[in-house]
């Protein structure tokens, strides 16, 4: 996947070393719903902590710039 270098540099709190860019879906949370291309509700594949995952009721919101750009560009 090709993501702008500035977006990757701004994602400086990633504990997974940007593994989502490898295309391996096992380490990437699934976007269940996106509201206005800004709020991304996710379902995580594992219970690992992530600096960009925020609890929201019974769900989670993703604030990761790289993950949001992947969804915007590729809808995955």
List the beta bridge partners of residue 60.
Answer: 42, 55
pLDDT band at 68 (very low <50, low <70, confident <90, very high): very high
Q: Does the reported pTM lie above 0.85?
A: yes
CB 68 within 8 A of CB 29: no
Rounded to an integer, the average pLDDT of 3-32 is: 89
Non-local (6+) Cβ contacts of 60 within 8 A are: 29, 41, 42, 43, 44, 53, 54
| The pair of three-digit structure tokens given for residue 19, joined into one six-digit string | 């593994």
For range 26-45, the mean pLDDT: 91
Domain assignment of residue 47, given as a range: 5-74
What pLDDT does residue 26 have? 75
Q: Are 41 and 61 in contact (CB under 8 A)?
A: yes
pLDDT band for position 13 (50/70/90)? very high
The number of domains in the chain is 1
């Amino acid at each position: 996947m090709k993501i702008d270098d500035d977006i990757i540099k701004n994602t400086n709190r990633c504990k997974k070393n940007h593994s989502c860019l490898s295309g391996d879906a096992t380490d990437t949370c699934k976007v269940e719903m996106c509201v206005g291309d800004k709020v991304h509700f996710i379902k995580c594949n594992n219970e690992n902590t992530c600096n960009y995952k925020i609890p929201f009721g019974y769900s989670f919101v993703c604030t990761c710039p790289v993950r949001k750009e992947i969804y915007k560009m590729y809808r995955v």
